[in-house]
A and B are shown apart, each in its own frame.
Chain A
């Protein structure tokens, strides 16, 4: 490893209206290393990465490239220095195809000097780039038809095709399954050996240990420190991130599962799970593990009456129910916390209190006349109970952190008096501290006698939180474990369809 940093940021300050996003931050990265940048949401990681990529300009401080100060006024400037990256936000054009996205704004030309695009070369080169990743994708497919994991791989391929010397990856694994993550890590390892300097932003401690060399911690826009990753423990890192220690990651109070809340028998959903048998009782958390596309989301969509069921039975409190619409299921006490809370869970520009009662206005105000004060006081109860951090219930939810937004969604469902709660990826995109809080709340809800179904791609979370775990593979339930019976290897191999006891129906 050469010791001269290729890219260095010194004393970076960035002020946004109302917040100081970065306050005197230092950062550098050397060729052939993976320098991890961690911190809670709102710590300033993404702001710093955007400054390094020339998307936004720093107010103060300087950026040095190979020891010389440079100015990054646009992403184009950054690219000319060989700095490229993957953003946290979706940076593909949904209806352009894979090749068009990879070559956006640097399309190969058919004739030199003329603006006409060479489509054939574009597709050929795209296929090469993707197959270096082991991906067989039809490059003529619009990216909106790919699932989120593949889209993410296309974004990464898009950057790698520019052969950057500095590669910035902002939470590249947030949408990926374990298999794709390991493929990505192989690729990162390869790039590191080729001498590429890699800035890696994440808050998944396990994964940064696998690939990171050094780690810089940010907290509330301030620089906390840079350490060699081998020299610190996870606890120390977490403490640097949150400024306090978090002892127990997965809280489990004594739970006493009671009556059966929901049962599925031979449950089949169009395009989703086939012949699923499944039980969840009041007072327990049931985890659903599986790869993206294994049928987890489709299963809960079927339960919630979004997609029609083909055959099989659904029983709630022992009574047979045919789910026809989400509205009907809400009446029956079922709540679904979507994995995409910004799209399906919240009215982002509405304040906390209106979001809280969004699904239960009829119950509070049967005559249709709504009283603002009562809504506020209802919301205040939840803010207190769920420890939602907000200056007031009048605050628009888009200004809250991811963890607190998730809590507002929880408040909304609790206010419908839902007793069967389905959490789809409850802690995706939430930072460590808030994650622990969401887990504690889920534990509390189970203890209070609610039935909880949790979908999660985060295996430690599934293992730590669930009383029982169902594993899905290719639209079928292929395994069931009690808490304590399962471990990461057993579940992972079932998820991949290579474990023992797999009921595969060769098609």
Chain B
């Protein structure tokens, strides 16, 4: 009897966690450097910007939308910051400019989706493409150096022994958590994906909520863009290529689904960890960059397939009870 309930509890653990455990075991064997404190800190540092973007993407997905522009926005933001620094502006103004650019891109996404009525995937892909294009034109495709101490401090510095980027990610996550689960705005975001008509009849301006959600996603991408610029000490339009896939992958692995309003930003943390550990482990194990894309795609899709199966059986079990 007890064995059975214990077994039942084991089965309640989503496959993503098993995959994380499995990866840690494998990496522990094949990559000796993996389980060192410095490498684990490394994982957390790499996870920090991804968590920040993924939280924004999760919010968008909860409203039945999608944001394919975040990687491009991150690149553009790094370019804007670098160019503003180069132009002699103070670092705080430069960062504010970068954040503003990201927020603006996000709001444009929102307007395209909520006011113009374009499907989210094409609207965000279009805006993202333009952001990338602008970044390329501004830099002529070159990487622009940005070695401002304050900017570098964002990833190199630490506070009370904890790396700044980790503190920043935790703070952003905390604020978003409060916004989503403790305020009426958050309720509206979650409701928007479920039954927008229900919101409209109680007097919510659903268009505004939708635009803001994309705006927040753009702003969070901008914060992540600052971290990327800080780590590389430069601005480069293609600096964050493929981050959209990582962010969406992390969201879905976490358990947020397009259709059912399930999941939330808390669960996305798990997805972010999975992808970050996977990528870091591959690096430590010395797998060439070429192979990494395919492997990561494989693991992400595999986890999602397992997870869908898993949730069907758990739900089937619940219904039978």
A contact residues vs B (CB 8 Å cutoff):
53, 55, 74-76, 79, 87, 89-96, 100-101, 104-107, 115-117, 270-271
> Are the CB atoms of B195 and A75 closer together than 8 Å?
no
User: Complex Cα distance A270/B319, Å?
Assistant: 10
Within 8 Å of chain A (Cβ to Cβ): is B201? Answer: yes
A95 to chain B: closest residue by CB? B261
List B contacts of A105 (CB < 8 A): 184, 188, 199, 202-204
B202 touches A75 (CB 8 A): yes
Closest chain A residue to B183 by CB distance? Answer: A115
- Contact mask B182-214 → A, CB, 8 Å, 1/0? 111101101100110111111110000000000
Task: Specify which chain A residues have a CB less than 8 angstroms from the CB of B320 in the assembled complex.
Answer: 270-271
Q: How far is B203's CA from A96's CA once the two chains are assembled, in angstroms?
A: 17
Contact between B204 and A92, CB atoms less than 8 A apart = no
Closest to A92 in B: B198
B262 interfacial contact with A, CB 8 Å: yes
A95 engages B262 (CB within 8 Å)? yes
Q: Is the CB of B194 within 8 A of A115?
A: no
A87 to B195, CA, bound (A): 13
Query: Do A107 and B184 touch across chains, with their CB atoms under 8 A apart?
Result: yes
**B185 neighbours in A (Cβ, 8 Å):** 115
- Which residue of chain A has the shortest Cβ distance to B318 in the bound complex? A145
B160-193 CB contacts (< 8 Å) to partner A: 178, 182-185, 187-188, 190-191
Question: A246 vs B88: C-alpha distance in the bound complex, in angstroms?
Answer: 86
Given contacts A104-B187, A105-B188, A115-B185, contact A92 B195 (CB under 8 A): yes
CB distance from A309 to the nearest CB of B (A): 14
Beyond contacts A95-B194, A100-B187: 5 other A-B pairs, Cβ-Cβ < 8 A, are A93-B195, A93-B199, A95-B190, A105-B204, A117-B187
B200 cross-chain contacts in A, Cβ below 8 A: 55, 75
CB-defined contacts of A117 to chain B, threshold 8 Å: 182-184, 187
Q: Show 5 residue pairs from A and B whose CB-CB distance is below 8 angstroms, ordered by the A residue.
A: A53-B201, A92-B198, A95-B194, A106-B202, A117-B182
Nearest residue (CB) in A for B198 is: A91
Instruction: Name the B residues within 8 Å of A53 (CB-CB).
Output: 201
Q: How would you classify the secondary structure of chain B's contact residues: helix, strand, loop or mixed?
A: helix
Contact of A115 with B203 in the complex, beta carbons under 8 Å: no
Q: Which residue of A lies closest to B191 (CB)?
A: A93
| B201: chain A residues within 8 A (beta carbon) | 53, 55, 75, 87, 91
Q: Which residue of A lies closest to B181 (CB)?
A: A117
Q: Are A94 and B319 in contact (CB under 8 A)?
A: no
Contact A93 B194, beta carbon cutoff 8 Å:
yes
Are A74 and B183 interface neighbours, CB within 8 A? Answer: no
A-chain residues with CB within 8 Å of residue B178 when the two chains form the complex? 116
State how many residues of chain B have any CB contact under 8 Å with chain A: 24
Distance in Å from the Cβ of A156 to the closest Cβ of chain B?
Answer: 14
Contact of B187 among A76, A79, A92, A96 (CB under 8 A): A96
Contact A96:B319 (CB < 8 A) given known A106-B202, A117-B182: no
Q: Please give the distance in Å from B102's CB to the nearest CB on chain A.
A: 23
Whole-angstrom distance between the Cβ of A122 and the nearest chain B Cβ: 10
CA distance A76 to B199 in the complex (A): 11
How far does the Cβ of A295 sit from chain B's closest Cβ, in whole Å? 15
Say whether A115 contacts B202, CB under 8 Å: no
For A104, the chain B residues whose CB sits under 8 A away are 187, 191, 198-199, 202
Expressed in whole angstroms, the Cα–Cα distance for A196 and B8 within the complex equals 53
- B190 & A93 in contact (Cβ 8 Å cutoff): yes
- On whether the beta carbons of A94 and B202 are closer than 8 Å, the reply is no
Which residues of B are found within 8 Å of A96, using beta-carbon distances?
A: 187, 190-191, 194
Contacts of A79 in B (CB 8 A): 203
Task: Report which residue of B190, B203, B260 has the largest number of chain A beta carbons within 10 angstroms of its beta carbon.
Answer: B203
Establish whether residues B203 and A75, one from each chain, have CB atoms under 8 Å apart when the complex forms.
yes
A93 to B202, CA, bound (A): 12
Provide the residues of chain A in CB contact with B203, threshold 8 Å: 74-76, 79, 105
Task: Report how far A492 CA is from B191 CA in the complex, Å.
Answer: 39
Per the bound structure, the CA–CA distance linking A92 and B178 in Å amounts to: 23
Q: Considering only CB atoms, which chain A residue lies closest to B190 in the complex?
A: A96
Q: Assuming A92-B195, A93-B195, is B202 touching A116 (CB within 8 A)?
A: no
Q: Which residues of A contact B262 (CB under 8 A)?
A: 95
Q: Which 8 A-B pairs have the closest CB atoms?
A: A76-B203, A95-B261, A93-B194, A105-B202, A115-B183, A93-B191, A91-B198, A75-B201
Q: Are B195 and A90 in contact (CB under 8 A)?
A: yes
Chain B residues with CB below 8 A from A87, complex form: 201
| Bound CA–CA A325/B236 (angstroms) | 57
* Neighbouring A residues of B184 by C-beta, 8 Å: 105, 107, 115, 117
Minimal beta-carbon separation of B113 from chain A (angstroms): 20
Q: A104-B202, A107-B184 are in contact. Are A91 and B190 (CB under 8 A)?
A: no
User: Smallest Cβ distance from B260 to chain A, in angstroms?
Assistant: 7
A101 neighbours in B (Cβ, 8 Å):
198
| CB <8 Å contact, B194 and A94 | yes
Which among A74, A93, A115, A270 is the interface contact of B198 at CB below 8 angstroms? Answer: A93
Cα distance, A79 to B201, chains bound together (Å): 10
Residue of B nearest to A50 (CB): B201
Contacts of B197 in A (CB 8 A): 89, 91
Q: How far, in Å, is A3 (CB) from chain B's closest CB?
A: 31
CB distance from B320 to the nearest CB of A (A): 6
Distance from B255 Cβ to chain A, minimum over Cβ atoms (Å):
13
- Measured in the bound complex, the distance between the Cα atoms of B201 and A53 in whole Å is 9
Residues of B within 8 A of A92 (CB): 195, 198
Q: Which residue of A lies closest to B196 (CB)?
A: A93
For B190, the chain A residues whose CB sits under 8 A away are 93, 95-96
Residue of B nearest to A74 (CB): B203
A144 → chain B closest CB, angstroms: 9
A354 to B320, alpha carbons, bound, how many Å?
A: 37
B319 contacts A271, C-beta separation under 8 Å: yes
CA distance A89 to B195 in the complex (A): 11
Shortest Cβ gap from B233 to chain A (Å): 39
Contacting residues, chain B, for A271 (C-beta < 8 A): 319-320
Q: Report B-chain residues with C-beta under 8 Å of the C-beta of A74.
A: 203
Q: Closest CB-CB distance, A99 to chain B, in whole Å?
A: 11
Contact A116 B187 (CB under 8 A): no
Chain A: which residue is nearest B263 at the CB level? A95
Complex-state Cα separation, A146 to B312, whole angstroms = 19
Q: How far is the CA of A395 from the CA of B197 in the complex (A)?
A: 27
Q: Which residues of A contact B183 (CB under 8 A)?
A: 115-117
Question: Which residue of chain A is the closest to B194 with respect to CB atoms?
Answer: A93
Residues of B within 8 A of A76 (CB): 203
Residues of A within 8 A of B202 (CB): 75, 104-106
Residues of chain B contacted by A270 (CB below 8 angstroms): 320
By CB atoms of chain B within 10 A, which of A79, A92, A94 has the most?
A94
CA distance A90 to B262 in the complex (A): 19
Query: Chain A's nearest CB lies how many Å from the CB of B17?
Result: 23
Q: How far is the CA of A113 from the CA of B187 in the complex (A)?
A: 17
